[in-house]
Amino acid sequence: MTTQQPRVWFITGCSTGFGRALTQAVLERGEIVIATARQPDKLNDLIEQYRDRILSLSLDVTQSADIQMAVNQTIATFGRIDVLVNNAGYGVFGAVEEVSDTDVRRQFETNVYGALGVTRAVLPHLRRQRSGHILNISSSGGFIGFAGAGIYCASKFALEGWSEALAKEVAPLGIHVTIVEPGAFRTAFNGKLVSPTQAIDDYAATSGQMLQWLQQMNGQQPGDPHKAALAMIQVVNHSHPPLRLVLGADTLDAVHGKMEAFEADLAAWRDISINTAFEGAAVSAIGG
């Protein structure tokens, strides 16, 4: 998508990681960023450097009043939103049995309902414009379930589910949706994980190893957040952007591995799958 004027980006979770890297990369290209975060003071250096093209707002995506206030202020100031990036999120790790109900609910409040709330607040403006692009930051764990990351993966699977449906709903309105699936990138993510207070010994070889790997990888991840930001900008610039953008060779390999295993299961169980209809019933594709 191209416009005569600088695009207006609305990005959540901008204080660190992908949000921070993307905010800086967009500003360097002369565009406008509404940079939202729970701690917007961490953006003071960018505000000082790009004062006329950045609006820093305090936003907790779990608070609907905060969301509406931030969107309203953006429209009042700039009149439009061209790109929405739902980046705010975090990870709850541990075996499914180990994670507390409270941590499960908090994970979904941020990663699923938070992104959904921001999207629903922005959509009326994108529909009015008949243009726009939504980037929902998922994860390799939004496509593949990993031992020790079940709750986090569940939140990202949910994000991807409604994102994929939304893409079909808004495509006729000139609005694009892209799900971004990063692998291991050198952000603060691994250092801010929520893990169980009491581990179950029986899961030491599965979820326990995942937690150890995450700790060992902290600060050693191969992915460069700046390059990820440039890739996202490239997608937004493209006239035919993808529904999914995989970032990192690690994620690419893992996705191919899951798809190959899925294809093998489909082939092995094909006859069982198709012999479940009433005799003579017409069968059509779901949604067709």
| Contact (Cβ atoms closer than 8 angstroms) between residue 93 and residue 213 | no
Backbone torsions φ then ψ of 53, nearest 5 degrees: -125, 15
- The rounded distance, in Å, linking the Cα atoms of 81 and 279 is 52
| Contact (Cβ atoms closer than 8 angstroms) between residue 149 and residue 141 | yes
Tell me whether residue 156 is one of the annotated catalytic residues. Answer: yes
> Is the Cα dihedral 37, 227, 171, 258 positive or negative?
negative
Residue among 156, 195, 203, 207 flagged as catalytic: 156
Helix intervals (H) in 146-224: 150-170, 207-217
- The rounded distance, in Å, linking the Cα atoms of 21 and 46 is 11
Backbone torsions φ then ψ of 251, nearest 5 degrees: -70, -40
Tell me whether residue 152 is one of the annotated catalytic residues. Answer: yes
Residue among 15, 50, 56, 138 flagged as catalytic: 138
- The rounded distance, in Å, linking the Cα atoms of 27 and 171 is 27
Tell me whether residue 138 is one of the annotated catalytic residues. Answer: yes
CA nearest neighbour of 156 among 90, 203, 208, 66: 90
| Contact (Cβ atoms closer than 8 angstroms) between residue 173 and residue 127 | yes
- The rounded distance, in Å, linking the Cα atoms of 25 and 146 is 31
**Token code pair at residue 21:** 């890297």
**Token code pair at residue 176:** 């694009």
Q: How far is CA 183 from CA 161, 180, 220, in A?
A: 19, 10, 13
Residue among 152, 155, 203, 207 flagged as catalytic: 152
Three-state DSSP string of 246-267: EECHHHHHHHHHHHHHHHHHHH
Q: Which residues are catalytic?
A: 138, 152, 156
